[in-house]
Every structure is written in structure tokens, then in C-alpha cells.
């Protein structure tokens, strides 16, 4: 609630125009499922929201704390796996515990795993993180594939669904969309708030100069691990949506390809502002679905790789950065023509 | 004059496309079929050949079935079940295809089987996915498989190895996931029943390419090695086995000694490979007019394709052929939730390039399986000669269904006969 | 870490390795010959696989040491070298020409990558790393388009094919022994190059302090470009010699990349000696895992990595900061 009022007051500080714009965006997001068919509601709308959520967790780590972790999808995957392992699935080793126990357990274990990944990787610095988290993520996917007692090996788990709470089937297009929207918006506002909190500010200070913060008496390691926990929790939330969306999870869901996808989404959108990951996710999901109709699907990876490369080369701040540049350019043009 | 006629043509086309977009009457004249295969990732080449198989069948039918036009929309996955699901959702929910043909690999098939249950308005026809459980346990009422599964593919092999080759014991070397598990079951069912022993199974983790230590671990006191590896893994294992001084004769899984392996320019050891038996749903050099016609049509249509259609082209061709045949039977009537069409599919007695195919009560194919042996051709190249055709193999390998189900799902440790 | 510390650690590792062999030899008298043979063969397999890993990873660590550039396209470059070398070997009929072509072509590729792309974003380590990810995705896809999914394997020269008589294990794969030899030669050559030539000393000076090196009037860009070329060339070379006993297929790029990553994380970024130690540990872990605990063989390398990171975050031979 604090986050909401905070962002509202922040919005009030801006021009009326930007308030109107935000109002339009919110209204559009709310009526979207009524103008879109089920496919556009779920596969495009909801998927962009929860993939954006996982990418948001990377934005929090990379943008605020300067740690690019490729293992955010691994954390999401652990949450999804735990939901399937403790809850309902068609695999005989699922424990069938009630959902109100399973959900917090899944989120807690995934957050804990994130802390562990953080503890392993924060002791080294900067670009090491990307390598170490890459190796950890692939190592975990390999382990899940080989282990049948807990992770059901290569087959993984199928028949995973959201709990039928309040008599609603949450996997139906509209409920699923609104649930994704609600959680994504809350997470977004949370990150917006977090950026300006004391902890968030010290994280950014650590990102900019860790040594100085250490000299000032800050426990840099703990700050970073805590950042991994927070980001891990967001990723875990996203992971629950991923497993509900697919209805299944297997080692392929957490392998290198999807891990890199999250990085692509975050970088494509831009790591500077929490809206970036959602923009990136929308573009990625649209490309993923419709590239086959526009170009040869066989070269999809060239297209997505080249798009990613172009964004990194041209605009380090992603599509958001491009948008800002465009705006600045247009404003300049207006000024000149006005003269 | 030419300009005028072109303009007329364009106008005609415009009204036609308008009417297509406008009325349900027009939509009924077109049947949308989605084809899903792996056009990205490591299986791209196989996915492309699958598409060739499907295209060939539609091409031969002139893109018409039951008096209606067929519109084909393609989808692609990277062989992971998640990507197959996403592509299938797009085809079914956005493109609104009436029939979906695919997917290519086993775990994708299981994922689509589950998805099919949530989309009762669409009929799913399998491509080449060969996981046993897709149709054996928990089958979906609108999922039809006109190809045989990984267990069926090995029919006759265990018996041949035991009786004709005289191997009394063998160790298994296979990749550690579900497709090889089912291949091993297919082999061991017969081999163990006759009294053969499998003292050890070497399940090699996916991604391992160095087989030298596996080669060193193979015990001396067995008669043969049963190898269910494909592609690069088969090539690596075979060359390293040669170099490690291995001399146990081999029994091959369905993709261990196929053209992609024997055609690779690695030192596999010609002398060693000669006489290696294997079994599968097709045999490249089967001397039957139906198969020869299929191969000729494939070669003519796709000069850039494989020298001979792969089992993926064959599987998708068979699926497409089933769709076309059933549509012709019901005169393109997909009304009443496709009831008539599905009944026609279920009751088909399909004449395919590899012989007769019918479906059992779970909509799973009963078809012929080819037992082959590696032989040297006149040109010095290796190929698979048909030794025997195992007629009309069903999913329970001839056992009563209840008995067969009691065996339980395949795994690392099921079956066993040490 | 001091020199003495490094030497001590090396000695310890050497002792450990000797202990393993001694234990194997000792158990020979107790156990049946077959098991000893398997043990020794596994040891040799681990040693020779480590040779391959060292060749690929040494290029990775060299580039990182000098430029702080985490080149995640390293695996894709290795696969590119394998494909190009294969085409040349097939066209010329000479395996050795293929080896040379694999090295040269990827070295040129690395040179182009450094001068055309990396130089534009010098000092922006994260951006450079992201760029290499994008490049590796595009490269993998284009290689699939060009060489399709077919499996290739080099035809190695006859004198390298087959088995060499060895004590205890009777015979051993000749080519793998040759790979080990190449790895040792490259290791020694790199050591001589870095320690005994002017360019090598510049590189080492650059590793220690880039700003100082530039201040002494050395053309740093030239040194960077050269190092990147050698690093990429070593990847390509690794691709060729690996493609001669394993095979060349899509997906191998990721395998080479992950092996390099784990090797240098364990060994310590930027250290050639570290790469050798890391390669040994990882090669052994993979092969002993396969022989004695097959199911989790693929996981052990990662367990070692995490264990090393927990005890020495900078890797066995790595330096802090």
C-alpha cells in the first residue's frame, strides 16, 4: 500500500500529461482481456507479464546492484518444481499437499536457493557473476534431469494447475490474466518503491563503488545476498506462473536456452527502469509467436540474436533508451521548427 | 489484353479473399491444418524432413480433401515440450486450425496429449513422437497416432538376436532418458522372455560425448552389446569402441545404424558393422512398390532433401495421409465437433508406403515393423537390408493389454533380467 | 597469492594426483586385474580429456586475464574452427592443414571481433559480455544454416588412429595420447611466449596493470588484438582436435563454452596454470564420474566448482581484485 501511495505521489509530481498517460495504460491493461481473444489474453498478455516479472528480478539485481545473474530463471524453475513436487501433478512422486502449504513452501525454498546462489557468487565480482550463475544454472538443470527421486528426471512433472480458489479456475484466460497483472503490478510498484528506499539506495551506492561503501561500514556481502533474496522472491513468483501457464515443468524448462531468454528480455527492454523488463517481454513474446509468419522460423534465433546485438550495440539502455533518444530527437526537431 | 486479364484476375481474387474473410459459408470451404515440427534447435534437420513428408502428402492430394481446400500453417518448436506447447497454442488458439499434425519428439508428444484434452474442438494427429505413454496410459480422446512407438519399433529384434544370432547375454548402452528407455524395453521384452540375460545397463547422461570410459567399462563376459544411441552419440561411441579395441558384436536401436550415422564420414569400422541387426518403422531399401513409389516421389519433389526419406518424413507423411483419407471419407465434414471425421480416422485401414496401418481402441497405430541387418552394397556403401517384416505389431507387443500394463512405465530399472 | 603459495598448492595437487595413481597401483595387487585396468583407463581418459579442455580454456583465460573480457562466444568460435577446419581437411585431404586452418581462421575471426566490435566498447566489461552472448546466438544459428545438423568427424592420419601399447592397460587410444601431447606443447609454448618474448611480457604487464603498460608507450591496442586472436585461435584449434575424437555437431559450442567456464572458474581467471589445474580436475571428475557413478557424472564438475568457489572465490590460482 505504501508503494502505491508512493508511486501515486511520485506521479502527481510529474506533469498532468504523464498522469493521463499512466491512466490510459492502466485502463488499457484492465480492459485488455475484453478486447483480446483467449490466445492474445494468455499467450501474449499474461506471458509478457510473468516473463517480465522474472526479467524484473534480473533488472533489480543488474540495474540496482550491478550483478547480472543468469540464474534468475533457475530460481523461477525451482519455485515451479517445488510447487509440482509438494502439490498436485500426474507424477506418482508428487506429495499432494494442500495448496496453502505448497505455495509458501515453494516460494520460500526458491528464495532460499536464490540466497545460496547469491552467497556463492557475490564473493567474486562483476563479470564473474554472469559466468558463475550460468554454470550454476546449467549444473542444476543437469541435476534435475538425472534425479528421478525428487525431480522426476527427464520427464519432470505434468498436470500442474493453480488451486481452484473461490470457485474460480485460475487457469481460465481472464482470471489467469488478471492474476498475472495483479502480481506483476504489485512487483513493479514494489521495485519502484524499493529503488528509493534506504536499502535500495545503498545497493546502488555499492554498485557504483563497493570499496567506498565498505569503508563507510556497510556490509557489502550481506547487502548483495539480501538483494539476491529479494530478486529471488520475484523470480519465484514468476516461476509459479510459468508452471501454471505450461501446466508442466521439466529440465528443458530451466535449460540454457530459457535462461538466456530472460537475459535477452531484460536487456532488450532496458535495465534502467522497472518498466523495461515488461517492454522487453512483450517484444520477445510477440517475436517468439509471430516471427514464423513474417520471416522464416528456421532463422528465428538469428533474428532474436541480431535484435539483441543491435540493442546492446546501439542503445545500452535497451528499447527504453531508444525511446528516450527518439523523444529527445523529436523535441529537438520541434524546437528547431518552432524557431 | 494481358493487363486487362490480370486486372480481372486480381479483382476476382479480391472478391474471393473478401468472401473468405466475410462469411462462415466460405470458411467451410477451407480446412486449416497446422503442422508442427522442430524447425529450430539441434533437431532442425529432422524437423525440415518432417515438413517435407507432410508437404508431399498434401501436394499429392493437390491441397484438396473431401472437396475442400486445405490450408497448411506451419509451427516450430525446439524439441522442448514447453516450446511445442507454445507453438501448438498459437496454431490452435490464434490460427484456429481444425487439425494439428505433430509433434516430432517424445516429450513434446506427451505435452501435446495433455494439451489436446483442453482443446476438444481440435483433432490432433501425431507426427513422429514415439513415447509409449502418449497413447498407452491416460490417452486423449482427440489425439490419434498413426505411427508406432519406441517400444514397437524394436519388435522382433530380441528374438532375432537370441535365436538367429545366438546371443545369450548382452549389456545395454543407451542415453539416459525416456526414448532409449522404451527402445530398451522393446528389445528386452523378447530377449529376456527367451532366457537372454542383460547383466548391466550403461545409461549415459545426455550431453556426454566422450564414451571412452564407457567402452572401458563394458564387461568381457557377454555375447553382445545393445546400443541405443543416435546421431553424434552413435558416431562417437562407435569410433571410440573401435579404437578401444572393442570386439563384441552389436545390436542396434532404431536410430543407431541409420543413414545419418552410417553416412557420416567417421571411421565406424565397416567390417565391424556388417551384420548388425536393428529394427524400426521403415527400411530404406525395402523392395516393395509402395515404398519405392514413395521414395521416388520424395526424391523428385526434394532434390535437396535426404538421399532417401527419413523416418520423420515417413511419419509426417503417414499422418497427413491419414488426415486426407479420413477427410475424403466424410466429404470434408468437420461439423458436429468433428465427430464423423474422428470416427473415420479411428476406423481407417490406411494403406501407407510401409504397409497397412490401423488404430487400436486408444487410437494408437498397429503397423508392420522392419527387422534389418547392415549389409554392404555393390557400391561399397553400407545399408540396411530387410531380413524380416514383423506384421501388424500392436502397442502391447502381442501381450494382453492388462498384462502389459502391469509391467509399469519404462525407466532405468524397468525392465530388468540380470 | 604468493609464488610460494602457488608452488605449495601445485605440489599438493601433484601429491594428490600421485596418491591417486599409487592407490590404484597398490590396489592392483589386491583386486582383480580388470578393475585396476578400468581405473587406469579412466585415469588416462580423464587426463586426455583434460588436455582438450586445457587447449580450449587457455584461450578463454588468456583473453580474460588481459582484457577482463568474458568472451561467451568462445564455444561458438571453437565450433566454427571445427567446421572450417573440417572443410579444409576434406578439401585438401590433409588433417594437418585442417588443424592449421581451424586455428588461423578463428584467429582472424577473433582479430576482427576485437578490432571491429570490442574496441568500440573498451572498459565496458558488461556490455562486451552481452555482445558476445548475442554473437554466439547468431553464430550458432548461422552455423546450423550452413553446415546443417549433420554429424561430422575428422579423418585423422593413419599413424594416429588405433591403439598404442602401454604398461598395465595393455593398449591405449593413440590419438588421445596425441591430444595430451598437444596440450602439453601448447602449455609450454604459452609459458615460453608469455615469459620469454617481448610481446608476451607486454601481455603479462598488461594483465598486471593496463594503465601502466599504455603509459610506457606500448601500442596496447595491438597487444589486445594479438591476444584476442591467439585466444580465439586456441578455441578453434580445440574445436578441431576435439572434433577428431569426439564429433562436430550443433550444441558442441555450448559444451565447449561450459567446459571452459567451469575450468577457468575452478582454476582461477586469467591464469594459464590455473587453466591446467582446472582442466585436470574437471576432466578427471567427468571420467571418474562416468566410470563409478554414472548418474551424477555430469553434475560432479559443477559440485567441484561450487566447492572451490566456497573456499577460494577467486579460483585455485586466481588473484584477488
Closest by Cα among A142, B268, B246, A205 to C171: B246
Handedness of CA B368, B373, B377, B381 (dihedral sign): positive
B40: nearest CB among A250, A255, A300? A300
Subunits with 3+ Cβ pairs within 8 Å of B are A, C
Q: Hey, are the CB atoms on B80 and A253 less than 8 Å from each other?
A: yes
User: How many Cα atoms sit within 13 Å of C292 on the Cβ side?
Assistant: 16
User: How many Cα atoms sit within 13 Å of B82 on the Cβ side?
Assistant: 20
Confidence grade of residue A233 (pLDDT, cut at 50, 70, 90)? very high
Residue A46 to residue A25: CA distance in whole angstroms: 16
Write out chain B residues lying below 8 Å of C166, CB-based.
Answer: none
Q: Contact at 8 Å (CB) between C51 and C234?
A: no
Residue C105 to residue B178: CA distance in whole angstroms: 40
Confidence grade of residue C4 (pLDDT, cut at 50, 70, 90)? very low
Report in angstroms the alpha-carbon separations of A188 from A7, A177, A180, B154: 10, 16, 12, 54
Burial class (CB in 10 A: 0-12, 13-18, 19+), C176: buried
Find the mean pLDDT for residues C136-147. 90
DSSP one-letter string for C151-185: -B-----GGGSSEEEETTTEEEEHHHHHHHHHHHH
Cβ neighbours of B207 (radius 10 Å):
16
Cβ neighbours of C145 (radius 10 Å):
14
**All 3 cell numbers of residue B149?**
512407438
C290 touches chain B (CB under 8 A): yes
Confidence grade of residue B13 (pLDDT, cut at 50, 70, 90)? very low
B44 touches chain C (CB under 8 A): yes
**All 3 cell numbers of residue A266?**
531484460
Q: Hey, are the CB atoms on B204 and C163 less than 8 Å from each other?
A: no
Write out chain B residues lying below 8 Å of A250, CB-based.
Answer: 80-82, 107
B75: nearest CB among A43, A159, A292? A292
A197: phi then psi, degrees, rounded to nearest 5: -75, 165
Q: What is the pLDDT of residues C178-230, one digit of tens each?
A: 999 999 999 999 989 888 888 888 887 877 777 777 788 778 888 889 999 99
Residue A183 to residue A200: CA distance in whole angstroms: 21
Report in angstroms the alpha-carbon separations of C289 from B85, C281, C284: 35, 12, 8
Q: Hey, are the CB atoms on A135 and C141 less than 8 Å from each other?
A: no
Contacts of B34 (CB under 8 A, 6+ apart): B72, B73, B74, B75, B88, B91, B92, B95, B97, B99, B100, B101, B102
Question: Which pLDDT value is given to residue C109?
Answer: 96
Contacts of B175 (CB under 8 A, 6+ apart): B203, B204, B205, B206, B228, B229, B230, B233
- Per-residue pLDDT at B113 exceeds 80: yes
Chain C nearest C-alpha distance from A131 (Å): 7
In chain C, positions 94-153, which contact chain A (CB-CB < 8 Å)?
Answer: 117, 124-127, 129-131, 133-138, 140-142, 145
Peptide bond into B103 cis (omega under 30): yes
Question: Which pLDDT value is given to residue A249?
Answer: 94
Q: What is the pTM of this model?
A: 0.86
Q: Which residue of A has its CA nearest to B109?
A: A155
Find the mean pLDDT for residues C43-54. 94
Confidence grade of residue B194 (pLDDT, cut at 50, 70, 90)? very high
Q: Hey, are the CB atoms on B93 and A43 less than 8 Å from each other?
A: yes
Question: Which pLDDT value is given to residue C12?
Answer: 52
Q: Which residue of A has its CA nearest to C303?
A: A139
Question: Which pLDDT value is given to residue C1?
Answer: 40
Q: How far is CA A43 from the centre of its chain?
A: 16
- Per-residue pLDDT at A10 exceeds 80: no
How is residue A171 annotated by DSSP? T
B235: nearest CB among C41, C153, C295? C153
User: How many Cα atoms sit within 13 Å of A184 on the Cβ side?
Assistant: 32
Residue A179 to residue C187: CA distance in whole angstroms: 57
Question: Which pLDDT value is given to residue B8?
Answer: 42
Chain A nearest C-alpha distance from B129 (Å): 14
- Per-residue pLDDT at C49 exceeds 80: yes
Residue B362 to residue C282: CA distance in whole angstroms: 48
Residue with cell 462469411: B23
SS (H, E, C) A272-310: CCCCHHHHHHHHHHHHHHHHHHHCCHHHHHHHHHHHHHH
A289 touches chain B (CB under 8 A): yes
Residue B230 to residue B42: CA distance in whole angstroms: 13
Subunits with 3+ Cβ pairs within 8 Å of A are B, C
Write out chain C residues lying below 8 Å of B176, CB-based.
Answer: 294-295
Find the mean pLDDT for residues A166-184. 86
Residue C116 to residue C105: CA distance in whole angstroms: 16
- Per-residue pLDDT at C278 exceeds 50: yes
Chain A nearest C-alpha distance from B174 (Å): 14
Residue A150 to residue A156: CA distance in whole angstroms: 9
Question: Which pLDDT value is given to residue B17?
Answer: 39
Q: Which residue of B has its CA nearest to A301?
A: B40
Secondary structure (3-state) at C70: coil
Closest by Cα among B101, B110, B102 to B81: B110
- Per-residue pLDDT at A107 exceeds 90: yes
Residue C256 to residue A187: CA distance in whole angstroms: 38
- Per-residue pLDDT at C29 exceeds 70: no
Q: Hey, are the CB atoms on C247 and B204 less than 8 Å from each other?
A: no
Q: Hey, are the CB atoms on A43 and B110 less than 8 Å from each other?
A: no
Secondary structure (3-state) at C292: helix
Q: What is the pLDDT of residues B298-318, one digit of tens each?
A: 999 999 888 889 899 999 999
Pairing, β B143-144 against β B99-101 = unpaired
Decide which of A19 and B199 is more confident: B199
Q: What is the pLDDT of residues A67-104, one digit of tens each?
A: 889 999 999 999 999 999 998 888 888 888 888 899 99
Confidence grade of residue C114 (pLDDT, cut at 50, 70, 90)? very high
Q: How many CB pairs below 8 Å do chains B and C form together?
A: 110
Write out chain C residues lying below 8 Å of A306, CB-based.
Answer: 134, 138
Q: Hey, are the CB atoms on C161 and B244 less than 8 Å from each other?
A: no
A90 touches chain C (CB under 8 A): no
Handedness of CA C246, C249, C251, C256 (dihedral sign): positive
Find the mean pLDDT for residues C268-275. 88
Find the mean pLDDT for residues A302-325. 83
Closest by Cα among B38, B36, B39 to B54: B36
Q: Hey, are the CB atoms on A312 and C137 less than 8 Å from each other?
A: no
Chain B nearest C-alpha distance from A99 (Å): 22
- Per-residue pLDDT at C129 exceeds 90: no
B206 touches chain A (CB under 8 A): yes
Q: Contact at 8 Å (CB) between A231 and A58?
A: yes
Burial class (CB in 10 A: 0-12, 13-18, 19+), A22: middle
Decide which of B43 and C263 is more confident: C263
Mean pLDDT over the full length of chain A: 86
Chain B nearest C-alpha distance from C66 (Å): 32
Q: Hey, are the CB atoms on A127 and C299 less than 8 Å from each other?
A: no
B164 touches chain A (CB under 8 A): no
Confidence grade of residue B153 (pLDDT, cut at 50, 70, 90)? very high
Residue C19 to residue B152: CA distance in whole angstroms: 50
Residue C115 to residue A180: CA distance in whole angstroms: 45
Chain B nearest C-alpha distance from C252 (Å): 9
Q: Hey, are the CB atoms on A136 and C129 less than 8 Å from each other?
A: no
Closest by Cα among C312, C297, C315, C186 to C261: C315
Closest by Cα among B89, B121, B178 to A247: B89
Question: Which pLDDT value is given to residue C200?
Answer: 84
How is residue A326 annotated by DSSP? H
- Per-residue pLDDT at C74 exceeds 90: yes
Q: What is the pLDDT of residues B232-263, one digit of tens each?
A: 889 889 988 888 778 899 999 998 988 878 87
Confidence grade of residue A323 (pLDDT, cut at 50, 70, 90)? confident
Asked which of B5-19, B155-169, B391-405 is least confident by mean pLDDT, the reply is B5-19
Question: Which pLDDT value is given to residue B249?
Answer: 94
A298 touches chain B (CB under 8 A): yes
Confidence grade of residue A2 (pLDDT, cut at 50, 70, 90)? very low
Mean pLDDT over the full length of chain C: 85
- Per-residue pLDDT at B129 exceeds 60: yes
C165 touches chain B (CB under 8 A): no
B265: nearest CB among C153, C173, C176? C153
Write out chain A residues lying below 8 Å of B78, CB-based.
Answer: 257
Decide which of B65 and A170 is more confident: B65
Question: Which pLDDT value is given to residue B70?
Answer: 93
Confidence grade of residue A5 (pLDDT, cut at 50, 70, 90)? very low
Closest by Cα among B254, B365, B261, B256 to B318: B365
Q: Which residue of C has its CA nearest to A300?
A: C141
Decide which of B356 and A7 is more confident: B356
- Per-residue pLDDT at B120 exceeds 50: yes
Q: Hey, are the CB atoms on B90 and A90 less than 8 Å from each other?
A: no
Decide which of C296 and B314 is more confident: B314
Amino acid at each position: 500500500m505504501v508503494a502505491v501511495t508512493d508511486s501515486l505521489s511520485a506521479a502527481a509530481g510529474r506533469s498532468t500529461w504523464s498522469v493521463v498517460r499512466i491512466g490510459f495504460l492502466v485502463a488499457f491493461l484492465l480492459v485488455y482481456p475484453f478486447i483480446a481473444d483467449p490466445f492474445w489474453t494468455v499467450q501474449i498478455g499474461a506471458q509478457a507479464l510473468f516473463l517480465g516479472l522474472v526479467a524484473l528480478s534480473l533488472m533489480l539485481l543488474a540495474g540496482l546492484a550491478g550483478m547480472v545473474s543468469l540464474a534468475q530463471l533457475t530460481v523461477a524453475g525451482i519455485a515451479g518444481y517445488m510447487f509440482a513436487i509438494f502439490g498436485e501433478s500426474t507424477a506418482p512422486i508428487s506429495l499432494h499437499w494442500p495448496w496453502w502449504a505448497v505455495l509458501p513452501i515453494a516460494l520460500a525454498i526458491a528464495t532460499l536457493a536464490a540466497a545460496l546462489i547469491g552467497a556463492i557468487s557475490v564473493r567474486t565480482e562483476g563479470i564473474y557473476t554472469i559466468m558463475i550463475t550460468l554454470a550454476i544454472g546449467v549444473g542444476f538443470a543437469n541435476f534435475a534431469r538425472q534425479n528421478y527421486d525428487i525431480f522426476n528426471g527427464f520427464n519432470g512433472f505434468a498436470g500442474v494447475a493453480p488451486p481452484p480458489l473461490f470457485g474460480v479456475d485460475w487457469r481460465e484466460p481472464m482470471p489467469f490474466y488478471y492474476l498475472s497483472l495483479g502480481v506483476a503490478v504489485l512487483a513493479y510498484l514494489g521495485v519502484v518503491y524499493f529503488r528509493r528506499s534506504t536499502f535500495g539506495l545503498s545497493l546502488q551506492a555499492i554498485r557504483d563503488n563497493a570499496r567506498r561503501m565498505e569503508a563507510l561500514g556497510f556490509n557489502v556481502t550481506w547487502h548483495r545476498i539480501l538483494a539476491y533474496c529479494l530478486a529471488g522472491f520475484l523470480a519465484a513468483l514468476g516461476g509459479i506462473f510459468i508452471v501454471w501457464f505450461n501446466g508442466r515443468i521439466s529440465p528443458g524448462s530451466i535449460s540454457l536456452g530459457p535462461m538466456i531468454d530472460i537475459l535477452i528480455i531484460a536487456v532488450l527492454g532496458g535495465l534502467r527502469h522497472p518498466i523495461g523488463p515488461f517492454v522487453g517481454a512483450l517484444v520477445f513474446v510477440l517475436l517468439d509467436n509471430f516471427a514464423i509468419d513474417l520471416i522464416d522460423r528456421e532463422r528465428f534465433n538469428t533474428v532474436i540474436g541480431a535484435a539483441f546485438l543491435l540493442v546492446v550495440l546501439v542503445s545500452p539502455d535497451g528499447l527504453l533508451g531508444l525511446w528516450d533518444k527518439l523523444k529527445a530527437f523529436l523535441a529537438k526537431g520541434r524546437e528547431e521548427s518552432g524557431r | 489484353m494481358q493487363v486487362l486479364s490480370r486486372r480481372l484476375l486480381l479483382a476476382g481474387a479480391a472478391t474471393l479473399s473478401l468472401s473468405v474473410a466475410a462469411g462462415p459459408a466460405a470458411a467451410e470451404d477451407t480446412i486449416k491444418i497446422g503442422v508442427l515440427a522442430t524447425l529450430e534447435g539441434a533437431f532442425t534437420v529432422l524437423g525440415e524432413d518432417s515438413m517435407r513428408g507432410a508437404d508431399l502428402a498434401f501436394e499429392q492430394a493437390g491441397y484438396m480433401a473431401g472437396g475442400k481446400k486445405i490450408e497448411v500453417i506451419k509451427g516450430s518448436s525446439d524439441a522442448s515440450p514447453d516450446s511445442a506447447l507454445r507453438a501448438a497454442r498459437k496454431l490452435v488458439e490464434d490460427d484456429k486450425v481444425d487439425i494439428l499434425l505433430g509433434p516430432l519428439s517424445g516429450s513434446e508428444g506427451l505435452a501435446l496429449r495433455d494439451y489436446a484434452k483442453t482443446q476438444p474442438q481440435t483433432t490432433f494427429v501425431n507426427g513422429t513422437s514415439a513415447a509409449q505413454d502418449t497413447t498407452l496410459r491416460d490417452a486423449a480422446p482427440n489425439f490419434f497416432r498413426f505411427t508406432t512407438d519406441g517400444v514397437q519399433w524394436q519388435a522382433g529384434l530380441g528374438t532375432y538376436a537370441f535365436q538367429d544370432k545366438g546371443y545369450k547375454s548382452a549389456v545395454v548402452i543407451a542415453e539416459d532418458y525416456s526414448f532409449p528407455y522404451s527402445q530398451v524395453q522393446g528389445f528386452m521384452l523378447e530377449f529376456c522372455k527367451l532366457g537372454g540375460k542383460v547383466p548391466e545397463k550403461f545409461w549415459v547422461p545426455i550431453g556426454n560425448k566422450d564414451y571412452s570410459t564407457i567402452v572401458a567399462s563394458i564387461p568381457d563376459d557377454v555375447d553382445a552389446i545393445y546400443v541405443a544411441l543416435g546421431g553424434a552419440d552413435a558416431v562417437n561411441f562407435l569410433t571410440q569402441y573401435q579404437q578401444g579395441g572393442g570386439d563384441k558384436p552389436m545390436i542396434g536401436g532404431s536410430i543407431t545404424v541409420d543413414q545419418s550415422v552410417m553416412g557420416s564420414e567417421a571411421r565406424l569400422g565397416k567390417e565391424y558393422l556388417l551384420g548388425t541387426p536393428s529394427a524400426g518403422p521403415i527400411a530404406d531399401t525395402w523392395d516393395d512398390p509402395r515404398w519405392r513409389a514413395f521414395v521416388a516421389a520424395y526424391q523428385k519433389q526434394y532434390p535437396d532433401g535426404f538421399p532417401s526419406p527419413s523416418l520423420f518424413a515417413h511419419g509426417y507423411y503417414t499422418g497427413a495421409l491419414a488426415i486426407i483419407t479420413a477427410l475424403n471419407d466424410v466429404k470434408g465434414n468437420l461439423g458436429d465437433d468433428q465427430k464423423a471425421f474422428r470416427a473415420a480416422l479411428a476406423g481407417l485401414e490406411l494403406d501407407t508406403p510401409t504397409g497397412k496401418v490401423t488404430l487400436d481402441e486408444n487410437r494408437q497405430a498397429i503397423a508392420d515393423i522392419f527387422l534389418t541387418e547392415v549389409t554392404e552394397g555393390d557400391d561399397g556403401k553400407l545399408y540396411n537390408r530387410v531380413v524380416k517384416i514383423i506384421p501388424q505389431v500392436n502397442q502391447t507387443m502381442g501381450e494382453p493389454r492388462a498384462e502389459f500394463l502391469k509391467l509399469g512405465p519404462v525407466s532405468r530399472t524397468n525392465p530388468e533380467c540380470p | 597469492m604468493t609464488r610460494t603459495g602457488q608452488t605449495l598448492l601445485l605440489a599438493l595437487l601433484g601429491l594428490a594426483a600421485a596418491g591417486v595413481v599409487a592407490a590404484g597401483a597398490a590396489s592392483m595387487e589386491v583386486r582383480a586385474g580388470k578393475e585396476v585396468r578400468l581405473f587406469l583407463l579412466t585415469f588416462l581418459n580423464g587426463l586426455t580429456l583434460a588436455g582438450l579442455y586445457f587447449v580450449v580454456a587457455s584461450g578463454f583465460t588468456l583473453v580474460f586475464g588481459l582484457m577482463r573480457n568474458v568472451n561467451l562466444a568462445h564455444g561458438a568460435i571453437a565450433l566454427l574452427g571445427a567446421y572450417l577446419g573440417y572443410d579444409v581437411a576434406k578439401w585438401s585431404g590433409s588433417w594437418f592443414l585442417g588443424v592449421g586452418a581451424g586455428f588461423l581462421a578463428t584467429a582472424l575471426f577473433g582479430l576482427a571481433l576485437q578490432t571491429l566490435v570490442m574496441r568500440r566498447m573498451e572498459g565496458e566489461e558488461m556490455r562486451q559480455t552481452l555482445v558476445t552472448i548475442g554473437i554466439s546466438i547468431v553464430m550458432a544459428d548461422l552455423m546450423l544454416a550452413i553446415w546443417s545438423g549433420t554429424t561430422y568427424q575428422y579423418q585423422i592420419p593413419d599413424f594416429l588412429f588405433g591403439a598404442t601399447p602401454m604398461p598395465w592397460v595393455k593398449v591405449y587410444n593413440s590419438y588421445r595420447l596425441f591430444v595430451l601431447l598437444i596440450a602439453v606443447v601448447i602449455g609450454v609454448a604459452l609459458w615460453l611466449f608469455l615469459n620469454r618474448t617481448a610481446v608476451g611480457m607486454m601481455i603479462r604487464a598488461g594483465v598486471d596493470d593496463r594503465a601502466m603498460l599504455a603509459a610506457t608507450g606500448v601500442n596496447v591496442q595491438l597487444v589486445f588484438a594479438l591476444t584476442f586472436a591467439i585466444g580465439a585461435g586456441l578455441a578453434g584449434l580445440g574445436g578441431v582436435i576435439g572434433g577428431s575424437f569426439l564429433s562436430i555437431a550443433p550444441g558442441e559450442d555450448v559444451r565447449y563454452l561450459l567446459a571452459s567456464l567451469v575450468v577457468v572458474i575452478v582454476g582461477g581467471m586469467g591464469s594459464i596454470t590455473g587453466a591446467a589445474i582446472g582442466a585436470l580436475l574437471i576432466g578427471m571428475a567427468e571420467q571418474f564420474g562416468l566410470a563409478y557413478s554414472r548418474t551424477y557424472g555430469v553434475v560432479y564438475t559443477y559440485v567441484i566448482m561450487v566447492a572451490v568457489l566456497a573456499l577460494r572465490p577467486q579460483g585455485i590460482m586466481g588473484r584477488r581484485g
